[in-house]
A and B are shown apart, each in its own frame.
Chain A
């Protein structure tokens, strides 16, 4: 299967890429291409121009910047999954990256690309939301920072403007611990999430001082599970507290039936995986 014809440019600098994106109607940015090329081959999307950012140096780094870590636009899923900075400061995101696609996909696909693609059932959006990530959207006009919880607008729709590139993901170093768990479409952790949840918790003297829970695969977009998050904050993190929080997993979420599960089943799974993510994050926080 071939995509429809398109023009292709491979700028050497980010400024050139941003200028090209700003000046070219209907252009799309490609890095690994794991999501975009599939859509183009199925002709669900036919951009007139592809701007390949894959040859721009310095975007393939994960950096330690004192109060946060920064994941560049070309950092692959494989690197996010295994890098010492992500496994320590963004465990849920690293875990989600390790279950994204398969080895070949993780070799080429990028974390920022997956987030920008905004699939309703992708793993890393849940991790990014739980870890309190900030997306840095850059255009010729400058930078715009978008909280992960506000980034996923609808199915395959992010808050990025057509002339913006997601150049970097910033994860604050807030202490606390995080975890991600899911049911994959092919069972276990394989393939997109039928449902998945990531949880970040910070404990203080046996009390959950702060938390965030991200959901994926369940609704029209990955989202913050606000009810469950509210329920676990201030609790003692006990099994009862986790169960009570999990009961509120889909509060405010429009649960969507799809090929992989009914509304009832997805709701059930959301509760199961919110509980599991919380259990794992709290266990890490206690250890």
Chain B
């Protein structure tokens, strides 16, 4: 079947089998391998992308269901060579270890912060309920999201844990 969509602002089209999952279309047809396949069952969230601005697990969506949609992947988050605040936050607050969950974590965090740029820790943790980190690095992921939120509010982020007095 023929599909066409916009991916990171670029119009793309091609022929796919109906059973082609959106994540495979992005990775294999378009070469956008930043979006990861983790559990492949809808639990881990590594494949999270934005479909018309809505965070979506691309391993549980058919490419043909995305016909006409605007897709944003991790590759499309930075603009004009500037990291997105969430990308900067993951860098500055050590929000990743092995990095496998990171594209999904960042896409979901960017979605959450677009809805509310000043979430409390509980809201962040519940908002990332569908994203699993096998390194269990959740503490710094939360810090990274808080850093990004502060940046998006044009506020100075809190100092990192490792610079707190007495530590």
Contact = CB atoms under 8 A, between A and B. Distances in A.
A37 B61 contact: yes
A104 B21 contact: no
Interface string B105-140: 000100110000000000000010111000000000
Nearest to A3: B19
22 contacts: A1-B40, A2-B24, A8-B18, A10-B67, A33-B60, A38-B42, A41-B40, A52-B64, A52-B65, A54-B65, A101-B130, A102-B129, A102-B130, A102-B131, A103-B111, A103-B112, A104-B56, A104-B57, A105-B42, A107-B54, A108-B54, A108-B61
Contact of B55 (A54, A101, A103, A190): A103
A17 B134 CA distance: 42
B55 A107 contact: yes
B5 to A, nearest CB: 14
Given A5-B19, A50-B62, A102-B129, 14 more contacts: A2-B19, A6-B18, A8-B1, A10-B64, A37-B61, A52-B64, A103-B108, A103-B127, A104-B45, A104-B55, A104-B57, A107-B56, A108-B60, A108-B61
Interface of A: 1-8, 10, 30, 33-34, 37-38, 41-42, 50, 52, 54, 101-105, 107-108, 190
Interface string B10-43: 0000000111110010000000000000001110
Contacts of B112: 103
Contact of B18 (A34, A50, A102, A190): A50
Contacts, number: 73
Interface residues of B, number: 29
